[in-house]
Amino acid sequence: MFRPRIIPCLLLKDRGLVKTVKFKDPRYIGDPINAVKIFNDFEADELVFLDIDASKNNKTIDLDFVKKVGQEAFVPFAVGGGIKSTDQIKALLNAGSEKVVINSSAIENSQLIKEASEIFGSQSIIASIDVKKENGKYSVYGCGGTKKMELDLIDFAKKVEKLGAGEIMINSIDLDGTMEGFDIELIKSITDNVKIPVIAVGGAGSLEDMKRAVEEGGASAVSAGSIFVYSGKSKGILINYPDKEDIEEIFSHR
């Protein structure tokens, strides 16, 4: 039975763990290292850490933080935020990260994807694409979702695949933090046009949402934030992860 990876996507701001809604209004959640310890206990499939201010502030995700995660995490993890060079990628991988997530630099200097995949292997490189739906069309955004780019979404996805990205993370800005379900049309538009694995992000509110992203959207993995850090409609802070039995049960009914 195929069972997709289920990946908590953890956002960082000033070394704290935060959660956003539509890429805005970051709410402090707690200590990210404590979250790592909890996800270790839950035996999460993978983790992703993204510094949401890095590109906007012309910096890179903190290397000392990545080293701390590397010392604590028993599960594979990826990191992203302001990565601009193969030297930075080398340092982050050496610090313990299994993969790096490249977003703004994939737009501004797409050759970084090619160089990095040739040096470190495509399995280490995730190309992340942030998307808004405007006037019925999907627009690519860079710089933490603040800058609209003059790019065709499908052409860009095909380009990063050709350059050597091992995976594409497709993120709906419109649904970020809403827990209203994934944009299946958006996910399918990517999976129909590339052969590499696609990680769906933005909008997960339940395991059923994740199942739809896989079965209807064609995603190879699903990633989320709110569902893993909140409890109930009141959104009380509670780091959590679904039971493996529940995951197996829902994805066995296909």
Find the CATH number of the domain harbouring 180: 3.20.20.70
Q: What is the chain's mean pLDDT, rounded?
A: 95
C-alpha atoms less than 13 angstroms from C-alpha of 227 in its C-beta half-sphere: 25
Q: Where are the alpha helices (DSSP H) in the chain?
A: 32-42, 63-72, 86-94, 104-108, 111-120, 153-163, 184-191, 207-215, 226-229, 244-252
Active site residues: 130
Mean of pLDDT values over 212-228: 97
> Structural domain of residue 151, as residue ranges?
5-252
For the chain, give me the number of helices (H) and strands (E)? 10, 14
Q: Is 220 exposed, middle or buried (0-12, 13-18, 19+ CB in 10 A)?
A: middle
- pLDDT tens per residue across span 2-46: 789 999 999 999 989 999 999 999 999 999 999 999 999 999 999
Look at the chain and report how many structural domains it folds into: 1
Rounded CA gap, 215 and 234, in Å? 30
φ, ψ dihedrals at 250, nearest 5°: -70, -35
Q: How far is CA 215 from CA 179, 181, 251, in A?
A: 18, 14, 9
* Average pLDDT over every residue of 57-84: 96
Is it the case that residue 86 has pLDDT exceeding 60?
A: yes
CB 16 within 8 A of CB 33: no
* pLDDT value of position 1: 57
Confidence band of 159 (pLDDT split at 50, 70, 90) = very high
Tell me the pTM. Answer: 0.96
Structure tokens at 58: 């012309």
Two tokens, residue 45:
């499939």
Q: What is the mean pLDDT of residues 149-168?
A: 97
